[in-house]
Structure 1
Amino acid sequence: MSCHVLLRRLMLFLTIFCSPMLLKADPPKVDPYISRSYFTSIPFGAHSYWLQPWRAYMETVPAVDFVKGVGINLGGSVKNPDLIAEMLAKYGFRHLRIEIGWSSLDYDTEQIPPAVANNYRKILLACKKYNIRPLILLNGNSGAPCPVRFFKKVLAAPAHKGDREVQVTDVDGIMPGYSGISNLTGYWAAEALVTEIHGHTLVLSKPLPKDLGDSGASISMATLKYRPFSVPGSDDDRRTLAGWQHYVGTVARFVAQTLGTVGTKDLGFDMEIWNELSFGSNFLYINQYYDPPIYHYNEGAVWGDVVRATADYAEQHPAEFQGVALCDGFSNTIPWPASSQEPARVIALSKHPYHGRSTYPQDEQHGVLVNALGQQEPVGAFKPHFSALFPEYFATALQTECLERDAGPITNDIYRVAHGRYARVIDGHIVPCYTWITEVNMAPNEQGITDRRQALMLKAKTTARYLCFLLNKGIQRIYFFAALGGDLGLGLLQDNFLAYANTHTAYPADDRAYVSPALQVVHRIVMKMQEGLDPSLVKTRPLAVLSWKGGEQQKVFVGDGSPAHPDLTYHDLFTFLPYQVNQHRFVIPYYVMTYDVVAPFKQETFVVKIGGVEGVQTQAFVYDPFSDNTIPVHVIARDVSSITVAMPAEDYPRLLILQER
């Protein structure tokens, strides 16, 4: 087992069994809509069925941040990216994530070859044409982690599982330490490196995990331009980091030249440093290529090293990175990278908060359980029974790695390292570090849905919930995965439009038959955010839920009747997300955060007293972006600082619009 796997398992053990003392936390107050203790009562390593970290704070977000925060991944290759970009831009998408991997560079020249460049150029020019800002993913997937030469060799003798030597008919082009046998256990170039050559015998860095065949069989091999990332400070590691920096600069120059932005104050694109550690990241750890491991060191140090090397290169070449935002993608699937430790040149952490269905208590996360009173539960305490599948999963405390730890305004510790949006202090000043979500979505077919219309409507609901919720709770941008992916799968563009785009060069004169419900809903919400929009609004007026009634009778799960283990009801999950359009206009998505988006929902009426509004002369109405209709709102009370309204709520966002006269 590799050192980095052991390290991650040790981290998980510490997360579960060595969390900070919980009883020192203040218990939550009784039934306020917002209380910091809903988050602070759950230190890292703990989880809760009852406490809701997303209700630890409420921020009134400038509506312009919503408008600027909508993005997507392409998710595959397309014949005509112009049509794809036109539809995305028309329906509210402002960002597109595009991977230009390290292996895109030619092995000899370390430049992007013309044929490869031409494919990227088409997509980038489509983005420019329709005012979509590219996010360039810098990555080194193990299957082709850096500039690489792929080739075949022929076995001169049978090669069996467990062998550490392989005989081939010729050894031309094989470089010890850089060449190796590929794809032995998966998509992995030079997985077993050649360490020595004796005649036609190759000595391998690890035993073969399977038989390769008899004499005469062909085997896949590769030669890497650079050695895998190694011991920090070693010659191998310095050369590989220098190669990475060269790659970063080459891609930045290519994108700026393609967009025609060279020499401007904003080059018109951003960059994400690495994709996921959950797959394809073996090149980060040289010991993954050796059995037994060749070195003993902190393999996790490479995450920060690559980020710092990228930030340093950007600082040293400012003209090539004017206006280019950098985000740390190593945080996509792990909780350890912290805003307080990021270089100043990095403005965001990135996350991929995918989560499928969980059934409780079977799928409960190990570790300390906190009850509704903020108290540590003893072993064998009451646990509720329910099933959960919903977009906001990572904003709850069902898993200790909740988004609020990094995206929220409350500075908090994970093993004595400060996390949170405002945890970074440089020269005595707080330098915010935001959170981007560069991949997220739910696939209907993974839930057994085979009806196309049902799948499309489910994606409309989840897309709206992701956007309205996350962009209000501290996420600066969201990139859905993906534009492509199928009507029953992850795709937000309909299959019939993709078929059209593959056979036409002009956008349809009437696109209504081609627009997915998800895109329709996104567009309608964006349009409401844009009505009367003041793009210069930065300082917003804080709104507050002073009281709310409704949802008490519909339950997510049944408790045991005690204050420590109450029912979790839709009253607890009423979601109120204020955005401010201009000095006197607010758009407030609201809904019930149901824990099962597939299950039917019975509409509930909520009576809400909203503070921070000049209520005497305020008009209030509700817009439903799914039906494209306005819904009556009953104003129950008004005064100079609040308004009380009764409004019907669904399990998807409707928009309460408050217009002060």
Structure 2
Amino acid sequence: MPFHVLSRRLMLFIAICCFPISLKADPPKGDPYISQAYFTDLPFGAHSYWLQPWRAYLETVPAADFVKGIGINLGGSVKNPDLVAKMLAKYGFRHMRIEIGWSSLDYDSEQIPPAVADGYRKILLACKKYGIRPLILLNGNSGAPCPVRFFDKVLAAPVHKGDREIQVTDVDGIKPGYSGVSNLTGYWAAEALVTDIHGQTLVLSKPLPKDLGIAGTVIHMATLKYRPFSAPGSDDDKRTLEGWQHYVGTVARFVAQTLGTVGSKDLGFDIEIWNELSFGSNFLYINQYYNPPLYHYNEDAVWGDVVRATADYAEQHPDEFQGVALCDGFSNTIPWPASSEEPARVIALSKHPYHGRTTYPQDEQHGVLVNALGQQEPAGAFKPHFSELFPEYYATALQTECLERDMGPITNYIGKTAHGRYARVINGHVMPCYTWITEVNIAPNEQGITDRRQALMLKAKTTARYLCFLLNKGIQRIYFFAALGGDLGLGILQDNFLSYANAHETYPADDSAYVSPALEVVHRIVMKMQEGLDPSLTKTRSLAVLSWKGGEGQKVFSGDGSPAHPDLTYHDLFAFLPYQVNRHRFVIPYYVMTYDVVMTYDVLAPFKQETFVVKIGGVKGKQTVVSIYDPFTEHDVPVHVLERNASSITVSMPTEDYPRLLILQER
């Protein structure tokens, strides 16, 4: 789900107030394609309309990492997951995120009941059959946060807003400290806990936020197996963490048994610890259930405690977690979790970089604004006017929580905490901690698009840009949300295929009518990455953009003519994303990172195609065959080599706002 705006703004206000901003006075020298200053001039708490942190580094990524990095969330239930998994796998998807919530466990046995297990088993077996690796999301949504019993009671007297006691006709099954009145302000089990029982009167942990009704009204209640996470070291917290660890082990054993991988060196699945803090996470904080608070403590400590408890359990039961990667889901919607503080058993932070349309300057983030020279702006300084919606938003500096802080190779700090891919040092050795995106997408219908073809083509473009850009800039895996979701919404699979899958048991002999443009484009890019693929290639040759021309005449926004506030042009937003296939072959997605992917005319042409001239270093130019492939049209694009030498090649490249593939094949 998208970032919770109120929570985000509150946290950023705290961050900006608590962490001093130190800005360099010297701007980046010249105008190189890559300069660390585009990122290092932006400490946490600062943002910029001009600086582009994604251009702080350029890495040549093994093409095998692209092929292995594509995943998806199912996003709902389907009658025949086998057909869904077959289509996803056929068109390039290698991972699927599946939530098995804590409440899936039976209250008494704390095992997964057979009827519930059957549903998960169908999905897991479909993944196994088609070579899709499951990512199991462990989560405790407030609506059903742990093993729980739901039940109803009848009021014996009227109950009004602000009351802390209610009378019911019977108190059977009510357990003080664990039972409570549900769904008072939303989907929330036992929201107001019963702290004591006097006859038929229930004493509550906090005043009621609304009237419950007159005598005879039915109210919804629940009994939780465990108390909400509490003050570290308290008996409540110890018992709940032990219950969480039992859940971790139960799910891990179930998945391995279903996949038939028990005893293997790689059990064939991975685990994400928690979903989001933007909604449904009240169970993490016991004081959310009490007014006044029950304890006074650092409530945010639970983010690390649950991760450590999971990692500890995996360390203590190695046979149940062979080859199982753990990722920290508490980082999905907040910037604070850092690679340097993750347990060794956790290999990744995960993120949910959803973003809706913003219009500037009215939607500008509060805090320090940095100009094009890397200098802090005074109050009342020039600000540009433009509107944006594009997949790479969180790789820019339009707000301070840019993805480069965690996915990039440059170690940086929020306060005194080190962030970055290589910031974790254990026993004197750097232990990389990667970044996964476990949910992301852009929904056309949320942007007013009602035409089905336009919606499908928009998703094809944004899907290609997400993958080509983020898997090159340091994201190890991307899980789109979702396979299901509708042609006009978030769905990657077409509605007509889902209708077919619900009515048939076998995959269509000819699936061409059922394949979405997004799937087609992903498949075509994957096929080019796989031509001649050396899966053992890990050490790549660094390519470089030595010079580039193009896009100077097309503006994203107008500046005021000063060096501090120049126009932002598409020259500045030329994305060059090299992948190495084998020792002598490179596939390089390239495009102009337009700031608005939704236009009123042809969605594939929101800016005028332009030819860029790029001098590429690191390639044996005198013996290289050059071609360009367009995965949207399936056609080769005319390309001209303007200059060759022993270590570089200069190419004239027709450029669009979606990825085309520049292919360099050395003889």
Q: TM-score, normalised by structure 1?
A: 0.98
Corresponding position of 2:602: none
Q: Does the aligned pair in 2 maintain the 1:19–1:43 contact within 8 Å?
A: no
211-220 vs 121-130, which deviates more?
211-220
Pairing of 1:410-559 with structure 2 (within 5 A): 410-559=410-559
Give the distance between the partners of 2:12 and 2:561, measured in 1 at CA.
Answer: 33
2:24–2:375 Cα contact (<8 Å) kept: no
Judge conservation of contact 2:23–2:42 (CA < 8 Å) in 1: no
Question: Are 2:404 and 1:398 equivalent residues in the alignment?
Answer: no
Structure 1 residues 153 and 620: CA distance shift in structure 2, 3 A: same
Structure 1 residues 596 and 9, CA gap change in structure 2 (3 angstroms):
closer
SS of structure 2 residue aligned to 1:230: coil
Q: How far has the Cα of 1:291 moved from its partner?
A: 1.2
Q: Secondary structure at the match of 2:500?
A: helix
Q: 1:634-653 maps to which residues of 2 (within 5 A)? A: 634-653=640-659
Q: In structure 2, what is the equivalent of residue 601 of structure 1?
A: 607
2:232 pairs with 1:228? no
Task: Determine the C-alpha separation between the residues in 2 that align with 1:8 and 1:293.
Answer: 23
* 1:308 paired residue number: 308
2:107 partner letter: Y
Q: Is residue 26–residue 41 contact of structure 1 (8 Å, CA) maintained in 2?
A: no
Alignment correspondent of 1:275? 275
What's the CA shift for 1:635? 0.5
Native 8 Å contact 1:163 1:208 kept in 2: yes
For residues 19 and 609 of structure 1, the distance between their equivalents in structure 2, rounded to whole angstroms, comes to 41
The equivalent residue for 2:44 is: 44
Name the structure 2 match of 1:260. 260
Which structure 2 segments of 5+ residues have no match?
600-605
Displacement of 1:295: 1.1
User: AA paired with 1:555?
Assistant: K
Displacement after TM superposition at 1:31 (Å): 1.0
**Range that drifts further, 29-38 or 264-273:** 29-38
Aligned to 2:203, the other structure's residue is in SS state: strand
CA distance in 2 between partners of 1:366 and 1:216 (Å): 51
CA distance in 1, matches of 2:312, 2:529: 38
| Cα shift at 1:15 | 2.2
Deviations 1:209-229 (A, max 9, x none): 111111111000000000000
**Which residue in 1 is equivalent to 2:188?**
188
User: How many Å separate the matches in 1 of 2:642 and 2:280?
Assistant: 57
Q: Distance in 2 between matches of 1:120 and 1:268?
A: 15
Structure-1 residue corresponding to 2:292: 292
Are residues 502 and 410 of structure 1, via their aligned partners in 2, closer, same or farther at CA, if it must alter by over 3 Å?
Answer: same
Whether contact under 8 Å (1:22, 1:375) holds in the other structure is no
Residues in 1 aligned to 2:648 and 2:8: alpha-carbon distance in whole angstroms: 50
What is the Cα deviation at residue 30 of structure 1?
1.8
Q: Distance in 2 between matches of 1:521 and 1:328?
A: 30
Measured in 1, the distance between the counterparts of 2:62 and 2:661 equals 15
Query: What SS class does the counterpart of residue 244 from structure 1 fall into?
Result: helix
CA contact (8 A) 2:12 2:45 kept: no
CA distance in 2, matches of 1:545, 1:517: 31
The superposition leaves residues 358-383 of structure 1 with CA deviations (integer Å, 9 ceiling, x where unpaired) of 00000100000000000000000000
Give the SS at the match of 2:532.
coil
Contact 2:60 2:472 in 1 (8 A): yes
* Aligned-residue offset at 1:14: 3.2
Distance (whole Å) between structure 2 residues aligned to residue 6 and residue 77 of structure 1: 31
1:63 matched residue in structure 2:
63
> CA separation in 2, counterparts of 1:56 and 1:590?
17
Q: Distance in 2 between matches of 1:454 and 1:300?
A: 43
The SS at the match of 1:240 is: helix
Equivalent residue, structure 1, for 2:617: 611
Tell me the SS of whatever aligns to 2:441.
Answer: coil
Contact kept? 1:637, 1:645, Cα under 8 Å: yes
Who is 1:136 aligned against?
136
The code of the aligned residue for 1:279 comes to F
Q: Distance in 2 between matches of 1:79 and 1:11?
A: 42
The answer for unaligned runs of 5 or more in structure 1 is none
**CA RMSD, Structure 1 to Structure 2 (Å):** 1.1
2:660 to 642, 654, 661: 654
Deviations 1:344-363 (A, max 9, x none): 00000000000000000001
> Which amino acid is the alignment partner of residue 580 of structure 1?
Q
8 Å contact 1:26–1:37 — kept in the other structure? Answer: no
1:623 to 629, 634, 637: 629
Contact 2:23 2:43 in 1 (8 A): no
Q: Deviations over 1:89-142 (max 9, x none)?
A: 000000000000000000000000000000000000000000000000000000
**Partner in structure 2 of residue 329 of structure 1:** 329
Establish whether residue 109 from structure 1 lines up as the match of residue 115 from structure 2. no
Identity %: 87
User: 1:378 — aligned with what?
Assistant: 378
Partner Cα distance (2:223, 2:80) in 1: 34
CA shift at 1:21, angstroms? 3.5
Letter in 2 for 1:196: D
In the alignment, the residues of structure 2 paired with residue 52 and residue 496 of structure 1 have an alpha-carbon distance, to the nearest angstrom, of: 40
Question: Following the alignment from structure 1 to structure 2, what is the Cα–Cα distance between the partners of residues 86 and 230?
Answer: 44
Shift of 1:23: 3.2
User: For 1:262 and 1:630, how far apart are their aligned partners in 2?
Assistant: 47
| Paired residues for 1:319-358 under 5 Å | 319-358=319-358
Structure 2 contact 174–223 (Cα < 8 Å) conserved = yes
The residue matched to 2:194 in structure 1 has which SS?
strand
Q: CA deviation at 1:598?
A: 1.1
How far 1:6 moved relative to its partner? Answer: 12
Query: Structure 2 vs 1, CA of residues 532 and 507 (structure 1 numbering), >3 Å: closer, same or farther?
Result: same
Once residues 58 and 25 of structure 2 are traced to their aligned partners in structure 1, the CA distance between those partners, rounded to angstroms, is 21
Question: In terms of mean alpha carbon deviation, does 203-212 or 450-459 score higher?
Answer: 203-212
The separation in 2 between residues aligned to 1:456 and 1:438, in whole angstroms, is 22
Residue pair 1:93, 1:132 contacting (<8 A) in 2 also = yes
CA distance in 2, matches of 1:277, 1:306: 13
Q: Compute the displacement of 1:17 (Å).
A: 3.7
Amino acid aligned to 1:544: A
Pairwise CA distance, 1:8: 7.8
Q: Which digits, 9 at most, give the CA deviation of each residue in 1:418-448, with x for residues without a partner?
A: 0000000000000000000000000000000
Shift of residue 584 of structure 1?
0.2
What SS does the aligned partner of 2:551 have?
A: coil
State the 1:594 CA deviation: 0.2
Distance 1:220 1:594 in 2: 50
The change in CA–CA distance for 1:10 and 1:503 in structure 2 (over 3 A counts) is: closer
CA distance in 2, matches of 1:618, 1:242: 60
Which residue identity does 2:155 align to in structure 1? L
Structure 1 residue 74, shift from structure 2 partner? 0.1
Aligned equivalents of 1:278 and 1:24: distance in 2? 34
Q: How does 1:566-605 map to 2 (within 5 A)?
A: 566-599=566-599, 600-605=606-611
SS of alignment partner, residue 502 of structure 1 = helix
Equivalent pair of 1:19/1:46 in contact (CA under 8 Å): no
Contact 2:472 2:577 in 1 (8 A): yes
Deviation at 1:10, TM superposition (A): 6.5
One-letter amino acid of the counterpart of residue 201, structure 2: T
Counterpart contact for 2:64–2:581, Cα < 8 Å? yes
The Cα of 1:24 is off from its aligned counterpart by 3.5
For 1:162, the equivalent position in structure 2 comes to 162
Change (3 A) 1:246 1:18: closer
Superposed displacement of residue 9, structure 1:
7.2
Cα deviation, residue 294, structure 1:
1.2
